[in-house]
Amino acid sequence: MSFLSDMLNHLLEQYGYSVLFFSLFLEMLALPLPGELIMTYAGLIVNQGKLDWLLSILIAGTGTTLGMTVTYWIGYRLGNPFFEKYGSRFHFGPDKFEKVSKWFGRYGNKMLIIGYYIPGVRHITGYFSGTTRLPFRKYALYAYSGAFLWVSVFISLGKLLGPKWEKYHHTVNVYILVIGLILVTGYVLFILYKKNKQRIHERIDIWLEKGMQHYHSARKVKVILLTAGALFIALFSLMIGLIENFLEHEFVKFDEITIYIVEQVFDHSWTDSMNRWAFFSSYRILLPVILLASLWIWFKGKDRLLTIAFFALVVVGGEGLAEGLRGIFHRIGPSGNPFTFPSEHAFIALTVYGFTAFLLFRHHGKVLRRIIVVLAVSCLCLIIGISAVYSGNEYPSDVIVGYVLAGLWISLNVILLEVFRLMRSNPQ
């Protein structure tokens, strides 16, 4: 073990909760301390039974929130005078400060939750929130909840990794950093969309031209096309990257770590439950779902023949697409099963349940009901993917690519379906 690991082991075993509290408190003040390393190592000590899991999270979260509180009030005391006097020295004068303050006051509170996972960002958000006069109640809500979520993730990871901590903790931290950067990028893009929403909708109106004039839910169609188009582009780019990683054998470490974590979380007592969840990706369940959805579309839906035709295309064509890709890549699964990349279970489950949910609630259902359905489908497909990994039939990377391919296929067909509907509504 490294010198740092030995030192952490000694300090955490001797002083345990005090080390957790003060190290995270000081890190939030922008001192160069390895917060994630300390928390995951504390999780390892929890795994060994020398620290309590919930108490460790409580102590670490308290230290983090106290540090964030101190940095907020330091920034609050600095305020505008600091930037008026010294801001020009680092190209951040009063004008730029005022613009950034308005932006941060409107959107920055959400960044407080995500920023914890990005080194450097979490060290300045407290200071900047105070300096820009973000209301303390709003700041505390996001900063404190984000703090406890952050420490829970890393301490729990250390607990799960256990004796494999030394081998895997660096790679896991990199994965979490990447996820954090993706979330920040997505949030920034969402803000840019909200800021330029009017201009974007005007462009779409020009593109759709007369077709929109004869369609009842013009606004709804614009939102669907815009969302599906953005999702298609994002997933297509991600799919290309995943295929490149597969060809360069860069999934080995990811698969190894994920399989280990699944084995730690779900022991042998979960076998029957996992088999039942996996059953939801079999055609013995999917065919009745497809049949019932088709009947509902026929009696309640709009553009019935067109919608059912696309439903059939999504299911049959999607199965053919996934089967073709599995034949091309010809990957042997963990238990010797051929053709596992992309995952058959993850792909067909998300394709059928996801597109069915879209069709059923395309013209019906309140917003809350739609959100519940999206969450239910997401959870079901996630559990199906975990069951495929748990059973040893597929690698975690097979499942991830199955999800991405299904999302790509659904978004493409949603775009085509909406375009065909517009063409039918305006035959000229």
Given this model, what pLDDT does residue 190 score? 67
- Helix, strand, coil abundance in the chain, percent, nearest 5: 85, 0, 15
For residue 230 the two structure tokens come to 């953005």
Claim to verify: residue 390 and residue 241 sit in the same structural domain? yes
Report yes or no on 188 lying in a domain. no
Amino acid in position 199: R
Claim to verify: residue 250 and residue 156 sit in the same structural domain? no
For residue 282 the two structure tokens come to 């079999």
For residue 304 the two structure tokens come to 């019935």
Claim to verify: residue 332 and residue 385 sit in the same structural domain? yes
Report yes or no on 339 lying in a domain. yes
Claim to verify: residue 118 and residue 245 sit in the same structural domain? no
Claim to verify: residue 372 and residue 410 sit in the same structural domain? yes
Report yes or no on 374 lying in a domain. yes
Of 169, 187, 204, the one marking the end of a domain is 169
Claim to verify: residue 164 and residue 200 sit in the same structural domain? no
Given this model, what pLDDT does residue 210 score? 46
Given this model, what pLDDT does residue 214 score? 43
Claim to verify: residue 320 and residue 359 sit in the same structural domain? yes
Residues with Cβ within 8 Å of 72's Cβ and at least 6 positions away in sequence, in order, are 126, 127, 129, 130, 136, 139, 143
Report yes or no on 353 lying in a domain. yes
Claim to verify: residue 276 and residue 410 sit in the same structural domain? yes
Given this model, what pLDDT does residue 98 score? 64
Claim to verify: residue 403 and residue 266 sit in the same structural domain? yes
> In which residue are the tokens 């009030």 written?
73
Report yes or no on 91 lying in a domain. yes
Burial of 267 (0-12, 13-18, 19+ CB in 10 A): exposed
List the domain range (segments joined by +) for residue 395.
196-425
Burial of 209 (0-12, 13-18, 19+ CB in 10 A): exposed
Report yes or no on 175 lying in a domain. no
Claim to verify: residue 251 and residue 286 sit in the same structural domain? yes
Report yes or no on 53 lying in a domain. yes
Report yes or no on 186 lying in a domain. no
Number of alpha helices (DSSP H) and beta strands (DSSP E) in the chain: 19, 0
Of 122, 151, 169, the one marking the end of a domain is 169
In tens digits, what is the pLDDT along the chain, a chain of 428 residues? 456 556 666 777 777 788 889 888 988 887 877 788 888 888 888 888 888 889 999 999 999 999 999 988 888 887 767 666 665 555 555 666 666 666 666 666 677 787 787 777 777 788 878 877 788 888 888 889 989 999 998 888 888 887 777 777 667 767 776 676 676 666 666 666 666 666 655 555 555 444 444 444 555 666 677 777 777 787 777 788 777 777 777 788 888 888 888 888 887 888 888 888 888 888 888 888 888 888 888 877 677 788 888 888 888 888 888 888 887 877 777 777 777 888 888 888 899 998 888 887 766 666 677 778 888 888 998 999 899 888 888 888 888 888 888 888 888 888 888 777 776 665 55
Claim to verify: residue 127 and residue 220 sit in the same structural domain? no
Short-list 117, 173, 106, 113, CA closest to 142: 113
Domain count, the chain: 2
For residue 242 the two structure tokens come to 């995943």
> In which residue are the tokens 């690991």 written?
5
Claim to verify: residue 319 and residue 235 sit in the same structural domain? yes
